[in-house]
């Protein structure tokens, strides 16, 4: 499990003017269950995410956090209950799945950039082939987002030539090029050296400031405190507790949460 880094985010003043939670529902998960063979990974998950929410999911390793957010864009299929993303019900219909995937951006722990393509090609691939955007336009969009994550000068390099932090920022830009309405992050900083964590968290904060709906699995509690409007604690495939960050950290209700927090915050 990744260590908790509480320091890097603290230094920055956050602009909250665009961070508004609307009434519109972005993701609706109801009574969702998932098994790996006979192993019950996710049990009775109910979760409603409104547009504009920034949700941090934490919990011990193996508690099903990754599985949960991977179910949302159908990288894993669930066996019971329903998931509705942007009004589209996730079913076995491949058309629906591809539509949801193109609306939902995902950032992985290990970046999953395509090593045989340049940074620019990584960013333009999906817009060109999925959205049928003309190449010129896709490249302009890609450059815009590469500017935003502050690495436009690397556009013609290959992923293997970049540092981990740079690769993760490219991965974020690649997702953004599809103009997603929701972004999922699965431990985006836990494969990074400490000095690179900050640059990635900065990029994510910027995204939150722009009003993106975000679900973030992370152990960066500083990020959770400052950016999240809700923190969810998972254990053994269940949502044990969820609350506003202030309350969650000051007044955890369940013992498991208390134990987890004491371990991760180191006192």
Angle at 155 between CA 161 and CA 170, to 5 degrees: 75
- In three-state secondary structure terms, 109 is coil
The single-letter DSSP state of residue 153 is G
- Work out whether 189 is an interface residue with ligand ADP (CB under 6 A): no
Q: Which helix (H) or strand (E) holds 170?
A: helix 164-176
51 binds, among other proteins, ligand ADP, Mg ion, none (CB under 5 to 8 A by kind): none
- Picking from 128, 156, 158, the residue whose alpha carbon sits closest to that of residue 141 is 128
What does 62 bind: Mg ion, ligand ADP, other proteins, none (CB cut-off 5 to 8 Å by kind)?
ligand ADP
Name the token pair of 62: 């193996």
Q: Which of 61, 92, 132, 255 binds ligand ADP (CB under 6 A)?
A: 61
Chain residues binding other proteins by CB under 8 A are 73, 75, 94, 98-99, 101-102, 104-106, 108, 110-116, 125-126, 129-130, 158, 160-161, 174-175, 178
Q: Which residue from 128, 172, 180 is spatially nearest to 146, judged by alpha carbons?
A: 172
Asked whether position 167 contacts Mg ion by CB under 5 A, the answer is no
Pick one of 5, 49, 56, 64: the residue that binds ligand ADP (CB under 6 A).
Answer: 64
> x-or-dash pattern for ligand ADP, window 98-117, by CB under 6 A?
--------------------
Residues 9-38 that bind ligand ADP (CB under 6 A): 36
Q: Which does 61 bind (CB under 5 to 8 A by kind): Mg ion, ligand ADP, other proteins, none?
A: ligand ADP
Q: How far apart are CA 243 and CA 34, in angstroms?
A: 24
- Does 188 engage in binding with ligand ADP (CB under 6 A)? no
Question: What CA–CA distances, in Å, run from 64 to 38, 58, 217, 231, 267?
Answer: 15, 10, 10, 15, 25
The reply to whether 129 sits near ligand ADP by the rule CB under 6 A is: no
Euclidean distance between the first and final Cα of the chain, in Å? 17
Q: Residue 63 interacts with ligand ADP (CB under 6 A)?
A: yes
| Rounded CA separation 106/176 (Å) | 9
Cα torsion 206, 176, 194, 225: sign: positive
- Selected from 66, 73, 166, 168, the binder of Mg ion by CB under 5 A is 66
41's contact among other proteins, ligand ADP, Mg ion, none, with CB below 5 to 8 A by partner kind, is: ligand ADP
């Amino acid at each position: 499990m990744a260590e908790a880094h509480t320091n890097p985010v603290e230094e920055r003043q956050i602009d909250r003017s665009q961070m508004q939670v609307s009434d519109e529902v972005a993701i609706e998960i109801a009574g969702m269950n998932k098994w790996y063979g006979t192993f019950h990974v996710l049990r009775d998950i109910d979760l409603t995410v409104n547009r504009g929410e920034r949700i941090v999911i934490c919990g011990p390793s193996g508690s099903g956090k990754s599985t949960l957010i991977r179910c949302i864009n159908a990288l894993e299929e669930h066996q019971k209950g329903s998931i509705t993303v942007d009004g589209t019900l996730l079913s076995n219909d491949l058309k629906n799945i591809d539509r949801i995937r193109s609306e939902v951006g995902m950032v992985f722990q290990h970046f999953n950039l395509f090593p045989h393509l340049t940074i620019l090609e990584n960013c333009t691939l999906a817009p060109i082939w999925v959205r049928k955007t003309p190449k010129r336009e896709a490249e302009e969009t890609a450059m815009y987002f590469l500017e935003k994550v502050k690495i436009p000068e690397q556009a013609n390099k290959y992923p293997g030539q970049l540092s981990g932090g740079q690769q993760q920022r490219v991965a974020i830009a690649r997702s953004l090029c599809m103009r997603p309405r929701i972004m999922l992050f699965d431990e985006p900083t836990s494969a990074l050296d400490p000095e690179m964590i900050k640059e990635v968290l900065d990029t994510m904060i910027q995204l939150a400031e722009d009003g993106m709906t975000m679900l973030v699995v992370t152990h960066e509690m500083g990020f959770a405190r400052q950016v999240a409007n809700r923190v969810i604690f998972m254990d053994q495939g269940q949502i044990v507790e969820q609350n506003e960050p202030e309350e969650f950290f000051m007044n955890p209700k369940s013992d498991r949460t208390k134990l987890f927090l004491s371990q991760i915050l180191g006192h």
